[in-house]
Structure 1
């Protein structure tokens, strides 16, 4: 089990929904620092988080996942506050298939850039003490998403990247465990106006698919966050988890080829 007590946690993503609930639960774990990074600060949410535990240092650092120079500056600013990263949670997400660049940039390439920029401060062979990288994918990283193929491609990429970084040889040298959580349908702002976000949404039959998504039962952000923190504390390198309807289930991907 991974003990979060006294750890420096960095959360990349928004202040609403699952992200806020994950951070709220982490505040109850007596971590040392909670660094939140994203495009816009929400002062009200920051005050609410700080009220959960006055002993934890909470700080927001602005950062644009679509801009590498912004990310580099954010990392520099962060390392002026903490000396190492113990837990990195990549929770930023964008469901906007009509904008391929944003969908791929926020969900996949920005996440990969953030991991690589953070690794020197996590890698035990460099300036870190090891730790955890948790990447947030989606059930659509495991399954096709006919109404949102670009989003599905990005989230499949998140899983592929995470599994690759979790190779035992990497872990042996860095001490950094990689895991990925794939939430099922979850009540959030992302799930609003789905037809407008789909590049295929003008097709009547795709509208029927989206309506089925809207009508399906959704888990709450609180349920999803609880299982994400549970997965974090288990610290199983290379684990792929399905987080759906309040349940956490490990998925065992099939390997079809090896050297």
Structure 2
């Protein structure tokens, strides 16, 4: 898939990994709808992107992925402004083992909601032109991080949901590919939550174990992860894949086949 003229939607788009994913899409010629709850940062990023890529390349839309109404409205505004999306990246996520229901709501339910609502615009069976959905999971979606078990569960859910949707799309003729991006530790603000007792809650005593894991795996830069994301978007042979991204390299995960 060549990205020039393609239309992308990214959630959690204005900081950290979401910002990096949005930027690499712009660098390769796509138009990007930036969805995020942070209106101040969103408008600031939109201004910065306008200067670099032109004012007609991005659209900032305040959107809480927990809200069906806000998500629907954001996608509708995207369609009205740019046209039907070709690329959807469900990236919004948090670490919060204390308010674990909110973590599930954003990390997993937000991904399901974003996928289903985007299907209404992308599905070839309902007038769409197909495309690709990349859901941001984590290495915690492939193996446990003991200090953040709810985060681990949500990311396992994202991987499973993505793979099931890939098979469903293939069998149903939706014309949409689905892939999961599973990075190790990335140098972004979300890392700080792993050191914060209010976020880790009852697992605060395992923070040192998390630090040792970080030392073992190293710290990825956003740009490194964004390059692997681009591969999942552009390589049309990739469907139902979970791409593990580490400092030492990237590998597609092999799962047992059930179908």
Give the CA RMSD over aligned residues.
1.9
Secondary structure at the counterpart of residue 203 of structure 2: coil
Q: Work out the CA distance in 2 between the residues paired with 1:66 and 1:55.
A: 28
The runs of at least 4 consecutive aligned structure 1 residues that moved more than 3 Å come to 168-172, 213-216
How much has 1:72 moved relative to structure 2? 2.3
Which of 27, 30, 34 is the matching residue for 2:32? Answer: 34
For residues 121-167 of structure 1, give each alpha carbon's deviation from its aligned partner in whole angstroms, at most 9, with x where no partner exists: 10111121000000000000000111111000000000110000001
State the partner residue of 2:244.
242
**Structure 1 unmatched runs, 5+:** none
8 A contact 2:78–2:84 mirrored in 1:
no
- Spell out the pairing of 1:1-259 with structure 2 (5 A cutoff): 2-31=1-30, 33-41=31-39, 42=41, 43-54=43-54, 56-167=56-167, 170=170, 173-195=173-195, 196=197, 197-203=199-205, 206-216=206-216, 217-235=218-236, 236-245=238-247, 247-255=249-257, 257-258=258-259
How much has 1:194 moved relative to structure 2? 1.7
TM-score (norm 2): 0.91
Task: Specify whether residues 99 and 63 from structure 1 end up closer, same or farther in structure 2 by C-alpha distance, changes over 3 A only.
Answer: same
State the number of aligned residues: 253
**Bigger mean CA deviation after superposition, 22-31 or 154-163:** 22-31
How much has 1:169 moved relative to structure 2? 5.4
Greater fraction of residues in helix: 2
TM-score (norm 1): 0.91
**Structure 2 unmatched runs, 5+:** none
How much has 1:12 moved relative to structure 2? 0.8
